[in-house]
Amino acid sequence: KGKKPLAGRKVLVTAGGTIERLDPVRYITNDSSGKMGFALAEAARDLGADVTLVCARTDGPPPSGVTVVRTPSAGEMLAAVMERLPEMDAVVKAAAVADYRPAERHENKMKKGAETMTLTLVRNPDILQEIGNWRYSDEGNPRRSPFVVGFAAETTDVERHALDKLARKRADLIVANDVSQEGVGFGADSNAVNVYGAEGLVLALDRQSKRRIAERLWQLIADRAGWKPSGGEGV
Ligand code: C5P
């Protein structure tokens, strides 16, 4: 009685945009601010969870009262997430992970010379896919599996792509950012999302603060994961 809804739960949230280095002073990144992931971490903390925030490059400092693990690149983020997966009750992947990284990382600053230069990129691991593969890797083995939520920024055929991603990456929910709406998306303080489960659209949240969106998402996660408000291992 009186316990917070996520008391006794361990959750991992990823945030920010990964940086993929070319040399000691140059890298490739994206426009992610980390604000949605920070809001998710903050909301989970305030709802009573033990929060681990795995973050890449972000605008501003991470919230207090959470365990912060800094992972600049996708490769480092993958290792940090996989290492902690077995002990988590939920994993929410709000980070914008670069799909490609430079094939080669130069130890010293690259020198200018030729008029043109070609950069070869190679695919990064898909962390959400790796989590999905891990969860189903030994069927029949009663391995404890966290509840897994992915994000998706889509501009066309949002529902089809979200459901495809959900199935392919074997996640429990996919949160699709509605990037077509004004004041929504990268760097903004508000967001608008459609949340998809295996059966289709399960929650539509119109434009509101990322903090409020985060609270609604945790309510949904607790509900779908069957977490009792009393906390602990259930039954
Ligand atoms: O395929 P797409 O990048 O749209 O999928 C988005 C979801 O997958 C996000 O939750 C994102 O964090 C995750 N992702 C990942 N590793 C990647 C690419 C995306 O974990 N290399």
Tell me what ipTM this predicted complex has: 0.88
**Mean of pLDDT values over 152-175:** 93
Q: Is 229 annotated as a binding residue?
A: no
If you measure from the C-alpha of residue 172 to the centroid of ligand 1, how many angstroms do you get, rounded to a whole number?
14
**What's the gap in Å between 82 CA and the centre of ligand 1?**
15
pTM attached to this predicted model: 0.92
- Percent of the chain with pLDDT strictly greater than 70: 93
CB of residue 165 inside a 6 A radius of ligand 1? yes
**Polymer length of the chain:** 235
User: pLDDT digit string (tens) for 188-211?
Assistant: 889 999 999 999 999 999 999 999
**Residue 147, beta-bridge partner list:** 90
CB distance 48 to 7 below 8 Å? yes
Ligand 1 close to Cβ of residue 10 (< 6 A): no
Residue ranges of E strands in 139-228:
147-154, 173-178, 190-197, 200-209
Work out which ligand 1 atom sits closest to the CA atom of 149. 10
Alpha-carbon distance 192 to 212, whole Å?
11
Confidence at residue 234, expressed as pLDDT on a 0 to 100 scale = 45
Name the residue type at position 45.
Answer: R
* d(CA 183, ligand 1 centre) in Å: 22
Give the mean pLDDT of 75-88.
96
Pocket test for ligand 1, best of 13, 127, 221 (most atoms within 8 A of CB): 127
Q: Is the CB of 193 under 6 A from ligand 1?
A: no
The residue that leads in pLDDT, 6 or 231, is 6
Q: What is the pLDDT of residue 141?
A: 52
- The residues annotated with a catalytic role in the active site are 30
Query: For the stretch 216-228, what's the b/e string if a residue is b when 16 or more beta carbons lie within 10 angstroms of its beta carbon?
Result: ebbebbbebbebe
Domain boundaries, the chain: 10-98+120-225
Least confidently predicted of 56-65, 135-144, 172-181: 135-144
- Give the strand pairing for 26-28 and 90-93: unpaired
CATH fold group of domain 10-98+120-225: Rossmann fold (3.40.50)
Q: What was the pLDDT predicted at 3?
A: 86
For residue 78, the model assigns a pLDDT of: 98
Ligand 1 and 158: CB distance under 6 A: no
Band the pLDDT of 143: cuts 50, 70, 90: low
133 CB near ligand 1 (under 6 Å): no
